[in-house]
Amino acid sequence: MNVLENKTALVTGGSRGIGRAIALALAAAGADVAFTYKSASSAAQETEKGITAAGRRTQSYQSDASSFGDASNVVESVVREFGRVDILVNNAGITRDTLLMRMSEQDWDEVIDTNLKSAFNFSKAACRPMMSQREGVIVNISSIAGVIGNPGQTNYAAAKAGMIGMTKTLAKELASRNIRVNAVAPGFIETDMTGKLTQQQKDALLGLVPLKRMGTPDDIAHVVVFLSSPAAAYITGQVLCVDGGLVM
């Protein structure tokens, strides 16, 4: 069912992993989908093919999500090419994991800028056309690390917790313009990031998950589609943990 028919979505970091799954799911639900990527041009082309195969318009934009100027330019381009922007998914993110005592200033700054500042950049740019439309949806991809913390991820957890605070505040600021803002906090998901773990590490993590499996990018994407759809019309300022029951 095309619950997002005639909608235009913008997904940051949409060339692979969770971002690609979100872009494809939004297209399958009827939305035209623009997305950004930083360097993976071949992966971006694969995402474009998937969106086109769903019968939807698409456009990819190579940009640095941590750059305010890049974010403004991308949003302006999307509005110019598609006529509007209805859904923004702030998904761009990286990790630079290590214990705080070993963490460099660069490790800290890169993660905060890419994961948190990027959400500020794109939300600020996108809220103006959404306010003019008097409707819109922003979904921030946070993490359970931002809810409960995770050793070795001080920078990542701080950025993701910051996204949660930003989500709740923006939801209050934009509600009068019929713009809903929510966050999704994924648990352990099968992506390039978790692919670096040893089997022993994966087994240890799964021992903490009541459903006894890792999530998939599609598990996250389905929730984003729901939050972007009319079915979630009365939901704003919330954080949905999609984690197999890890955070209860």
> Catalytic positions, please?
156
> What whole-number distance in Å separates Cα of residue 222 and Cα of residue 195?
22
Closest to 14 (Cα-Cα) out of 65, 54, 57, 56:
65
> What whole-number distance in Å separates Cα of residue 55 and Cα of residue 35?
16
Residue that the structure tokens 């713009």 belong to: 179
DSSP 110-171: HHIIIIIIHHHHHHHHHHHHHHHHT-EEEEEE--THHHH--TTBHHHHHHHHHHHHHHHHHH
- Sequence-distant (≥ 6) Cβ neighbours of residue 1 within 8 angstroms: 29
Are 179 and 167 in contact, with CB atoms under 8 Å apart? no
